[in-house]
Structure 1
Amino acid sequence: MMMTGGVMLTVLSAAAAPAQVAAPRSAAAAMTLPATQALFDAYVRSGKMPGIVAAIGTPGQPPVFVSAGRTAIAPDAAAVGPDSLWRVYSMTKPITAMAAMMLIEEGKLSLDQPLSDIYPAYGRMRVLTDPDTSLESRPATKPITIRNLLTHTAGLGYSIVTKGPLLKDYERLGIVPFAANAQVEASVRPTRPANLQQFAERVATLPLIAEPGTRWSYSIGLDLMAAVVEKVSGMPFEQFVQTRLFTPLKMTNSYWQVPASAANRLVSNYTFLGDTMVPIDPAATSVFLQAPSFPYGGAGLVMSARDYDRFLQMLQNGGQVDGVRVLKPETVKLAMSNLLPAGVSYGGVSGSTGGSGGGVPTGFGAGGSVTLADTPGGPGKGTYGWGGAAGTVAYVDPTRGLRGTIMVNYIPADRYPLRRDLAAALYQDLGVARR
């Protein structure tokens, strides 16, 4: 699942720039967002969504939180706020990518290292000759590298986008690292690998959809990257993320499994029948109250807006928050740069799954998209971000000095023009004329 929110990233980033130039940091820290609040209130009042939370921040300053609504459509549901818990789905990917960047920083991995150094079976990969209709294949001529896993250029498939015979093989082998609800989970768990290392071993038996390093295709690359982090670090992946990222950054509301003590803060996830919201994963019986088969590095986290903002602050601050450093500035800069192999371009993905659209020259970094140039009325060069299938979005614009996290939970992610509407509200709040 994914979502950079191309339109929203474009406009939010531009909106912040002149306001920051005009206002000192103390004023930025005290900024209020009344038009944004009014928009959120209207969305909730009209029944488009039960609840929404945003965290908007500038360098070196705490976030401004804007929220409206409740954790569910029930009138007695709790109000949402900075510590409500949301399924971030593919906003997990940048976190997994930064875990990998830690090992790269330490010299335990390198960007262009073959995956077969870690799992020898990946030295014998095959490439489908007609992915849409057949499992006929030929030997791969290029190795899958760590860079390929981080940038979705390994030639791997994904159950949410892959079609044809290969999709059936992914499903047969349980290569579905995604939790929808308890009912779906009961049907897929018996075939899913029991742990990350089994996952990596099974994926190695499946053919690729393209030669590694030749094409961008949304994939399970970050799920496989989680297995690599686990094996290379010698530490369970979830423990690595906890000890190296969550604990030092004081991200205390980020979970692979929501504990009973926090269950009352979990929102319900919805889909739509016509114009009616119906729960697809009610909080009280959520699949995220169960332990997953293994930590899904591509789509497995439940997080609060406050916690995701802490992660974005770390990126915005070049690897540290509140004096606690988890990555070197040069490592963060590398991770947020265009890491696509030579000759490969990124053209965006479907908004219905949370993907970014076209319109802005964009590359791809470690687990997220990266704008390649300053865009008039758009993001500054180097804007890095991604998002989730249930409507969440997060980004850091180092040029304009803005970070943003938006939390909602409904599927499909592009049901409403939230990103466009939010951009307009922020323009008004920040006093920036349209260009």
Structure 2
Amino acid sequence: MDLGEEQPDISRRALLRGGIAAGAGLALLPRTSLAAAPTAAVAEANWPNVTALVDGYVDSGKLPEMIAALGWGQQPPMAIARGTLANNSETPVTIDSLYRIYSMTKPITGMATMILVDEGKLRLDQPLADILPRFAKMMVQATPDGSIEDVLPAKSPITIRELITHTSGLGYSIVQKGPIKQAYEDSGLVPGQVSKMKIPGLDDSTPVSSLADFTDTLAQMPLVYQPGTQWSYSVGLDLMGRVIEVVTGQPFDAFLKERIFAPTGMTSTFFKVPKADEPRLTTNYGVIGGVLVPIDPADNSIYLEKPPFPFGGAGLVSSPRDYDRFLMMLLGMGQIGGRRVMNEAAVKMGMSNLLPATANTKGTWIEGAGFGAGGRVGLGVDAGTYGWGGAAGTVAFVNTRVGNRASLFTQYMPDNSYPVSKQFPKAVIADLETMTGRKAAA
């Protein structure tokens, strides 16, 4: 399959870059007193702008499917679904269809970290080297993305806070350029996967085979920035997976299942799609010159095989219903269905601005916002919002000031082919304004 050199870049740079606008622009609105969530039959009438967005992409043929899941407080979700699992499928997508959520994995890993901080097994400002000694004496590039030989000693240790807020100075093969990017790829520091196929523009580096190997190899790389000084998208949440393993004595994926997925009722969230659930998996498409090309077909998906290791920053497949339950738990301040998953203090901390005071965000994806445990945090008129998105068209956020949760699922790459991640929050805002009768600041 030749995608052509003139076509948009289908690369790991697209991994985890999506959803930057997740939660952005949601205003400080008063909590509504809706007696009950609209039923499925009236969901479209209650959310006309969201419905129009979904209809527009599917009816035009730009995408084969799209589904929005919306809810209030602890009420059941409403689903606005259009299209089929793939262009060549007759199976309609539903709230239980499976999607590659990529960077929407990060808030889950972030909240797993908050559980351990709340239990006293970790401290936010604890040096990473306390748990992983190989990170005790890090070197830093003298020029970001410059020579990996021209380095200086780190002025301060990497902390847990910095890992979960992308301020540790660690790099990312989807973000960095030059020698450091090449070094990451050559060393297998590529914590994400897109396809089994060889696709021009998509590096075919083989990830290292375990979180332990990932950690040991990463510790040998120079940092891109001095710790705590710059917000820069990184492999920090992937490294947190190894921190969690060492602190708990459990495999990272087992910890997530035991402490988050099982008690939250997330029965359709996996690093590898089980055989019995394969019929629910969507196909992921590359948008090539305006044409949809299947780059990860559902029947031959890379997610049907066990990944090299559980990618805490980009590895999960989930359903709209499952991820909505995660959001519902957050809105419940750690409770869902009368069951406590996290302590309230842990949830509040994770959804608060945890950025180090010394970190620069100017010119970054989160300029003007804060960042919590793996997700963007709204400030000012956006206060109360927390969320993030994924590289294949997924977006999810909560607004604790309104008591609303919202998520959008579809599958296409690169994420900048369509402005879905910006359009969806705006559509939610417009519908919230109508429901509450109050103006929301964009």
User: What TM-score, normalized by structure 2, do the two folds share?
Assistant: 0.88
Aligned to 2:113: 100
Q: Find out whether 1:365 has 2:376 as its counterpart.
A: no
Aligned to 1:409: 411
CA separation of 1:168/1:137 partners in 2, compared to 1, >3 Å: closer, same or farther? same
- Per-residue displacement from partner, 1:340-386 (whole Å, max 9, x unpaired)? 1112143475xxxxxx565xx3011110110121x2xxx3x131111
What is the CA-CA distance between 1:132 and the residue it aligns to? 2.9
Aligned to 1:323: 338
What is the CA-CA distance between 1:71 and the residue it aligns to? 1.0
Given that residues 2 and 386 in structure 1 are in contact (C-alpha distance below 8 angstroms), is that contact kept between their aligned partners in structure 2?
Answer: no
- Per-residue displacement from partner, 1:27-48 (whole Å, max 9, x unpaired)? 5678623323343223211111
Q: Which amino acid aligns with 2:124?
A: L
Secondary structure at the aligned position of 1:99 is classed as helix
Which of 387, 394, 397 is the equivalent residue of 2:396? 394
Cα distance in 1 for residues equivalent to 2:76 and 2:362 = 33
- Per-residue displacement from partner, 1:324-345 (whole Å, max 9, x unpaired)? 1111111111111111111214
After the TM superposition, which of the residue ranges 418-427 and 56-65 deviates more from structure 2?
Answer: 418-427
Given that residues 131 and 164 in structure 1 are in contact (C-alpha distance below 8 angstroms), is that contact kept between their aligned partners in structure 2?
Answer: no
CA separation of 1:112/1:47 partners in 2, compared to 1, >3 Å: closer, same or farther? same
Cα distance in 2 for residues equivalent to 1:331 and 1:89 = 24
Given that residues 214 and 344 in structure 1 are in contact (C-alpha distance below 8 angstroms), is that contact kept between their aligned partners in structure 2?
Answer: yes
Q: Find out whether 1:280 has 2:282 as its counterpart.
A: no
What is the CA-CA distance between 1:56 and the residue it aligns to? 0.9
Aligned to 2:65: 51
Given that residues 71 and 266 in structure 1 are in contact (C-alpha distance below 8 angstroms), is that contact kept between their aligned partners in structure 2?
Answer: yes
Q: Which amino acid aligns with 2:404?
A: L
CA separation of 1:267/1:117 partners in 2, compared to 1, >3 Å: closer, same or farther? same
- Per-residue displacement from partner, 1:90-110 (whole Å, max 9, x unpaired)? 000011111111111111111
Pairs aligned (count)? 415
Matches within 5 A, 1:5-24: 5-6=20-21, 9-11=23-25, 13-14=26-27, 17=29, 21=32, 23-24=33-34
Cα distance in 2 for residues equivalent to 1:33 and 1:5 = 26
Secondary structure at the aligned position of 1:54 is classed as strand
What is the CA-CA distance between 1:302 and the residue it aligns to? 0.3
What is the CA-CA distance between 1:5 and the residue it aligns to? 4.2
CA separation of 1:272/1:189 partners in 2, compared to 1, >3 Å: closer, same or farther? closer
Unpaired runs of at least 5, structure 2:
1-15
Given that residues 17 and 401 in structure 1 are in contact (C-alpha distance below 8 angstroms), is that contact kept between their aligned partners in structure 2?
Answer: no
Cα distance in 2 for residues equivalent to 1:169 and 1:101 = 31
User: What TM-score, normalized by structure 1, do the two folds share?
Assistant: 0.90
Q: Which amino acid aligns with 1:363?
A: G
What is the CA-CA distance between 1:412 and the residue it aligns to? 1.8
Q: Find out whether 1:232 has 2:247 as its counterpart.
A: yes
Q: Which amino acid aligns with 1:221?
A: G
Q: Which amino acid aligns with 2:219?
A: A
Which of 110, 121, 126 is the equivalent residue of 2:123? 110
CA separation of 1:159/1:269 partners in 2, compared to 1, >3 Å: closer, same or farther? same
Q: Find out whether 1:343 has 2:331 as its counterpart.
A: no
Cα distance in 2 for residues equivalent to 1:424 and 1:370 = 17
What is the CA-CA distance between 1:420 and the residue it aligns to? 4.9
What is the CA-CA distance between 1:421 and the residue it aligns to? 4.3
Aligned to 2:6: none
Identity %: 46
Q: Which amino acid aligns with 1:174?
A: G
Q: Which amino acid aligns with 1:9?
A: G
The structure 1 segments of at least 4 consecutive aligned residues displaced by more than 6 Å after TM superposition are 187-190
Secondary structure at the aligned position of 2:345 is classed as helix
Secondary structure at the aligned position of 1:318 is classed as coil
Which of 28, 41, 59 is the equivalent residue of 2:55? 41
After the TM superposition, which of the residue ranges 174-183 and 189-198 deviates more from structure 2?
Answer: 189-198
Aligned to 2:3: none
CA separation of 1:98/1:306 partners in 2, compared to 1, >3 Å: closer, same or farther? same
Cα distance in 2 for residues equivalent to 1:99 and 1:391 = 24
Cα distance in 2 for residues equivalent to 1:25 and 1:345 = 43
Which of 73, 83, 91 is the equivalent residue of 1:69? 83
Given that residues 103 and 388 in structure 2 are in contact (C-alpha distance below 8 angstroms), is that contact kept between their aligned partners in structure 1?
Answer: yes
- Per-residue displacement from partner, 1:138-164 (whole Å, max 9, x unpaired)? 111200010110101110000100111
Which of 184, 190, 215 is the equivalent residue of 1:170? 184
Q: Find out whether 1:200 has 2:243 as its counterpart.
A: no
- Per-residue displacement from partner, 1:100-149 (whole Å, max 9, x unpaired)? 11111111111011111111111111011123331111111200010110
CA separation of 1:427/1:248 partners in 2, compared to 1, >3 Å: closer, same or farther? closer
Unpaired runs of at least 5, structure 1:
350-355
Q: Which amino acid aligns with 1:384?
A: Y
